[in-house]
Structure 1
Amino acid sequence: MEKPNSPEPEPASSPNPTPALSVSEDSTQETPHSESRFSVFPKSERLSIIFIAAIAGIVSPFTGSIYFPALNTLSSDLGVSTSLINLTITSYQIFQGLAPSVIGTLSDVRGRRPAYLLAFAIYMVANLALALQDSYAALLVLRCLQSAGSSATIALGSAVVADLVTRAERGSYIGYTSLGISLGPALGPVVGGVLNQYLGWQSIFWFLLIVGGVLLIAIALFLPETARAVVGNGSVQPQKWNLNLVQWLRVKRGQPFNGGVVEEDRSTLSVPRHRPNPLTSLRILLEPEGGITLGFGALLFAGYFMVMTTLSEQLEARFGFSSAIVGLCYLPLGFGSLISRWTAGQLFDWNFRRHARLLGLPLDVSKQQQIDIFPIERIRLEICIPMVYISCGTVLGYAWAMETNASLAGIEVALFFQGLFFSGALQGLNTLIVDTHQDTPASATAANNLFRCVLSAGGTAIAPLMIDTMGIGYMGVFISAVWLCFSPCLWLVLLRGRTWREKQKVRRDKKDQERRELKEKSNPV
């Protein structure tokens, strides 16, 4: 793509009179891009950073599901009912929703590296204690601590992408960092089934301790700080304790921390509107667009998790599989989720480029695109909504394949397509939330996580009851019906989201102006 080289901004009222080119009342520029280079990190370094964030993001959902195949073993060894063991899944989901609101908000102000290091330190302590405990009470409490440590990784991963990648390319990259949401629950039972069958359930937590330790060391040594409130576009040096190994060695030798690639540009620093506050995530739930997007995403994930948490029990009951074989049956779901990161991500980025052409605007992916000019809700939801409707069909196909005792091949095919289209739909909603909250991406993703985990915890609790009373086929009908009934809310965001966002920005800027005037009156020069 060619960069715009004219010193004058391209006017919005060009020969193309498309109304979508209108900008908000307080906009000072009508150019499609910001002036500064969005990120000074070379592409190879951006890819390595996002790779680390993506691997770290798998940890929380992977940890949540890794002991699904061991539920019956835990019930027998600890002398409690299966329903009480299922309670540890529900409690894990609840803390998975609450903890990122604290750590994610902190990272938006203080940095991603400190948040990652704190999260993995808590995670490792919890896994060590879980591997050594032998009582149900300890299992329940420590699973909550384990969840609190690991759950912020998804929010932090999406925030890292928002720090490094412009909206034009964000659809693909957020797909990688949010891969764990759907891939983690699919891979966890595979590993957990093998470990439980051959080494015992304690080996699951020893394995997670090792994984956590490796990631903690990798983050401490190699992950640079990316938070725009701390380093801007990567040109501003963070505090010495917040440098990675390579940067620290450069500074020690008297060299620029970034190798002298570019000069410091403090104008790219993002100043948060609020101090670190867990309630920041809750404010997003109260926004018209944010609340609807988060709410539907939570319903989507709750239905998916109802299928995930009951799959192992259904396979054992219908086919008599061992825990290792049950774990392998989750693989098609994981493969579908993995493939969606390429298919759906490319579609989201293609649709962004398509809208840029329709608006007659140049697209420079090295600079941030102005959200006042690009119809971001339409760009994301035109791809996302069809995937939601296809996901309804895949859930029905899976549920009735189980209900009618169809062959294992039919069940696995349905699971593959469920992973493919559900992951794509969720990816679109996650990207939209980050797009519309560029200044606090970790807080926005934490709000997404909170809503999603609370509803999925409820879904986990009622799914066995629904199967017992109406059968798994009608549970699938219920899940699809809920998604279909609430899908018009996404159409409402597509049509009205931009207007809501612009009105909200006017109100927010008015409040900021009132605060400045009050501060000037109380502190006269």
Structure 2
Amino acid sequence: METSPPEKVPDTAFTDTDIEKDSVPESAEFKDPNVVDFDKPTDPENPMNWSSTKKTMAIVIVTAMTTLSPIGSTISAAATLEILRHFDSTDETLGAFVTTVFLLGYTFGPIVIAPLSEMYGRAYLYKICISFFVVFNVACAVADSLGSLIVFRFLAGVAGSCPITIGTGSIADMVPPEKRAGAMGAYVLGVVFGPSIGPIAGGYLAPATGWRWTFWLMTIASGLMTVVAMLFIEESYPYVLLKRKTERLRKETSNPNLRSVLDTGRTPRDLFAFSILRPLKMLLSPMVFSLSLYQAVVYSYLYLCFTTFERVFGSQYGFSSGEAGLATLGLGVGSVIGVFGYAISSKRISERLTKKNGGDLKPEYRLPPMIIGAILTPIGLFWYGWSAETKTHWIVPILGTVFIAMGMIFTFMATTVYLVDVYTVHAASVTAASTICRCLFGALLPLAGPSMFQAMGIGWGNSLLAFIAIAFVPLPFVFYLYGQRLRESKLFHVDF
């Protein structure tokens, strides 16, 4: 009979799952024969011990789904004016909402997806949500009113939020902390580069074949992704893997007393109720809230650009919708540079600081690159806004957006990796908490873009955003210098 190993379970075997360390039965340390665990530290069933090929394939699939979803979030942005003309509307705010309502789905989806993944595993959620993503994109393609299009866009966002919500948890299941920055970099590339692809595809496809084909294209792509997910995604969540192993051993041994080492003792109903509130409770933590708020503000600037590029470059430079879509390449290039720049700098800085401080890798060592992002973001906003305002050559404002994207990436990745490292056993929940905050801002702030630019102009409008970004500059310094002390302070602790 397979039972728990005689030695204490190493922490790295279960890093970054949504299981509380305190819930591990004390008896597991006393060789309780009824406690089921992975057989040994090198057990191949443990996702931490999967082969490099298997881990790479899993991360590539998750990253592909994560890229596809943000493409869907912005693919209608460059076709906004055509959509409004089709439905006889002139409301630019409503047109922007067609794009950003997708992010409202990102806001509400994680609240349910995170606890469901804890109960039933990540693989089931990936497969179910990608299937619904196909269905709702079909519904968008055949929508017969602006209202129904908005509703189906929202539902597509809910389904599309799945890889955004639990993708970091999947990586944490398989990759130890010292190697996580590189793997997270590949994953985040999909999150941030995807939105830049959408307007380019939609900008050229909509004028040529009609706006509905932007959603048919998403249907085809997500349909192929659904087949891949059904065939190749495997469960990586240790809690679910050990739960299945326990159920199997109960049948094989007829021993009803067997229990998983990660069993919390909660019923599925209690577990769902407990878990659904955890991301919201985590936002009550000053640490989670402040970092998530900063990430949300910078992230919303990205979508503000997406929803206003057609107007800005159309009115200032006479760009067509396709050419306005190509203007997002600056954001895409900046995102790619930011991902690789963060991955390289984070690795080198954290290794140097770890070595300097006795070999103890602290989460705060992830934060110095965030200081770079705090500086780049306002520089990019000033650059983009005033160069577009004065109608300099079109390449100049696009170069400014490169800095905006780089700043956003450094901020996004640093806060994400830091929060995952701090709340290791609650990785999916803390990601859900930050996603809720980030996407709520991303959905609502861009709605003010048309009115703001009309009232203040492109230059002063972007300057206002830059001043807000400057107000957050002290944040990475505070958490780098005092993060550990704040983490250990009762004032920064919330029981979740």
What's the TM-score, normalizing by structure 1? 0.78
User: For 1:262-301, what aligned pairs fall within 5 Å after superposition?
Assistant: 275-276=271-272, 277-301=275-299
Residue 226 of structure 1 aligns to a residue in which SS? coil
Aligned residues of 1:155 and 1:445 also touching (Cα < 8 A):
yes
- Measured after TM superposition, the shift of residue 237 of structure 1 is 5.3
CA RMSD of aligned residues (A): 2.8
Q: Is the 8 A contact 2:181 2:417 kept in 1?
A: yes
Query: Contact 1:105–1:440 at 8 Å: present in 2 too?
Result: no
Please give the secondary structure, in 2, of the residue aligned with 1:79. Answer: coil
Tell me the residue number matched to 2:345.
347
| TM-superposed deviation, 1:36 | 4.3
**CA distance in structure 1 between the aligned counterparts of 2:210 and 2:369, rounded to whole angstroms:** 44
Aligned counterparts, 1:65-76, within 5 A: 65-76=74-85
Gaps of 5+ in 2: 1-6, 8-25, 27-39, 249-259
Quick one: which of 207, 211, 219 aligns to 1:197? Answer: 207
Q: Percent sequence identity over matched residues? A: 25
Shift of 1:505: 11
Q: Which residue of 2 aligns with 1:39?
A: 48
Deviation at 1:210, TM superposition (A): 1.2
Could you tell me how far apart the structure 2 residues matched to 1:416 and 1:386 are? Answer: 14
How far off is 1:270 after superposition?
A: 8.0
- Structure 1 residue identity aligned to 2:142: L
Deviates more, 1:325-334 or 1:66-75: 325-334
Shift of 1:447: 1.0
Deviation of 1:271 after TM superposition, in Å, equals 5.5
| Range 105-114 or range 499-508, more displaced | 499-508
1:386 is paired with a residue whose SS is: helix
Native 8 Å contact 2:286 2:492 kept in 1? no
Aligned residue for 2:425, secondary structure, equals coil
Query: Does 1:152 find its partner at 2:162?
Result: yes
Q: How far is 1:84 from its partner? A: 2.3
* Match in the other structure for 1:244: none
The alpha carbon displacement at 1:355 in A equals 2.2
Classify the secondary structure of the residue corresponding to 1:395: helix
For residues 360-380 of structure 1, what are the alpha-carbon distances to aligned partners after superposition, in whole Å with 9 as ceiling and x for unaligned?
32xxxxxxxxxxx53212x11
The amino acid of 1:352's aligned partner reads S
Q: Does the Cα contact within 8 Å between 2:378 and 2:470 map onto a contact in 1?
A: yes
Q: More displaced, 45-54 or 92-101?
A: 92-101
Shift of 1:75: 0.6
Deviation at 1:466, TM superposition (A): 1.1
Cα 1:146–1:354 change in 2 (3 A) is same
Task: Report the AA paired with residue 433 of structure 1.
Answer: L
Are 2:373 and 1:387 aligned?
yes
2:15 aligned residue:
none
Equivalent residues in 2 for 1:180-219 (5 A)?
180-219=190-229
* Cα shift at 1:325: 1.8
Cα distance in 1, alignment partners of residues 337 and 324 from structure 2: 22
- Is 1:488 aligned to 2:484, yes or no? no
**Which residue of structure 1 aligns with residue 362 of structure 2?**
375
One-letter amino acid matched to 1:212: S
Q: Residue 256 of structure 1 corresponds to which residue in structure 2?
A: none
1:314 matched to which residue of 2? 312
In the alignment, what sits opposite 1:408? 394
The amino acid of 1:441's aligned partner reads: A
Identify if the C-alpha distance between structure 1 residues 51 and 452 changes in structure 2 by more than 3 Å, giving closer, same or farther. Answer: same
- Count residues in correspondence: 440
How far does residue 414 in structure 1 lie from its aligned partner after superposition? 1.7
CA deviation after TM superposition for structure 1 residue 320, in Å? 1.9
Structure 1 or 2: more helix by fraction: 2
Give the drift of 1:412: 2.1
In structure 1, give the amino acid aligned to 2:426.
T
Take 2:247 and 2:228, find their aligned partners in 1: how far apart are those partners?
Answer: 19
State the match for 1:397 in structure 2: 383
The CA distance in 2 between the partners of 1:437 and 1:74, in whole Å, is 43
Offset at residue 404 of structure 1 (A): 0.8
Structure 1, unaligned runs of 5 or more: 1-6, 8-27, 29-34, 241-265, 362-372, 513-525
SS of aligned partner of 2:424: coil
| Aligned-residue offset at 1:108 | 3.1
**Aligned counterparts of 1:236 and 1:505: Cα–Cα separation in 2:** 39
CA shift, 1:59, in A, is: 2.4
- 1:52-67 matches, cutoff 5 A: 52-67=61-76
Aligned to 2:434: 448
Aligned to 1:263: none
Out of 102, 106, 111, the residue aligned to residue 101 of structure 1 is 111
